Structure 1
Amino acid sequence: MGTWGSGNFESDTAADHLSIVTARLVTEVAQAMAGDPVELEADEYWGVAVPCNLELLYLIAAQGHAGAELPQPQVVEAWKQAFMAVWERSVDGLDPAPGFKEERRARLLETFDRVAAAARSRAGRPGAAPAW
């Protein structure tokens, strides 16, 4: 295996490991999005964990390390549409504090948009955007 620097992510083994970590995050999101929409409601586990996974993917990808894999941008856009539809239907039932709904909506949209933009910027790089 090759090593090209002294950093923690500057070897083929590290890139392989990062690929495994990011693939797990993407797979979890893909499975949640393909599952029961009730599980994506604002107060359900995947309603919270999906944006967390996406944020982690974005933060990892932003470092530019080899092995950080993202889904195709159109996949992220489809996830955004589906997730936000469930979120919009469920959030009012939680009686959110004034201003929370608007702030949270903006943050969720920003999260999906940042991951999609990162995926677009990585498109064309070998192995950077598998068709999840």
Structure 2
Amino acid sequence: MGNWGFGNFDNDTAADHLSILTDRLLTEVAEAMSGDPVEIEPDEYWGVAVPCNLELLNRLAELPYVGVSLPAPDLAAEWKRHYLAVWDESIGDLVDSADARETRRAVLVETFDRFIEVARRASTG
């Protein structure tokens, strides 16, 4: 086992473990995004869980750990386009006010934009 420090994530086994965890988060997103669009509507489980997974991946990618897996930036951008198209089409009256809809959408856009950026950074090394 290779060690490069004394932190919890400073060895090969920890990097492998982190890779397994992030692969799981990505697999869940990929499956949700390639499945029935109804499953990612705002009031459905994956409609909530996809942004949660992206936020977790964003946070992990911002840390100096080895083992975080991310998709190609183009795929991340496609996920953003698809997710927001479904969200825009289905949000309707699920949120009480236009201000609340705009605020929530802005959070989603920011989450996806950060995800695309961390994927871009990861792809360029």
| TM-score (structure 2 length as normaliser) | 0.96
Amino acid at match of 1:31: E
Aligned residues: 125
Shift of 1:96: 2.5
Question: How far apart, CA to CA, are the structure 1 residues paired with 2:98 and 2:120?
Answer: 35
For residues 95 and 58 of structure 1, do their structure 2 counterparts lie closer, same or farther at Cα, with a shift above 3 Å needed? closer
Question: How far apart, CA to CA, are the structure 1 residues paired with 2:61 and 2:124?
Answer: 15
Q: How much is the aligned-residue C-alpha RMSD, in angstroms?
A: 1.0
For residues 3 and 95 of structure 1, do their structure 2 counterparts lie closer, same or farther at Cα, with a shift above 3 Å needed? closer
Shift of 1:48: 0.4
* Structure-2 residue corresponding to 1:48: 48
Question: How far apart, CA to CA, are the structure 2 residues paired with 1:100 and 1:121?
Answer: 32
Shift of 1:95: 4.2
Structure 2, gaps ≥5 residues long: none
* Residues 13-51 of structure 1: CA deviation (Å, up to 9, x unaligned): 000000000000000000000110001111100100000
Is 1:4 aligned with 2:4?
yes
Is 1:33 aligned with 2:19?
no
| TM-score (structure 1 length as normaliser) | 0.91
Shift of 1:97: 2.8
Moved >2 Å (runs of 4+): 95-98
* Structure-2 residue corresponding to 1:78: 78
Question: How far apart, CA to CA, are the structure 1 residues paired with 2:95 and 2:107?
Answer: 18
* Residues 52-94 of structure 1: CA deviation (Å, up to 9, x unaligned): 0000000000002100111111111000000000000111131
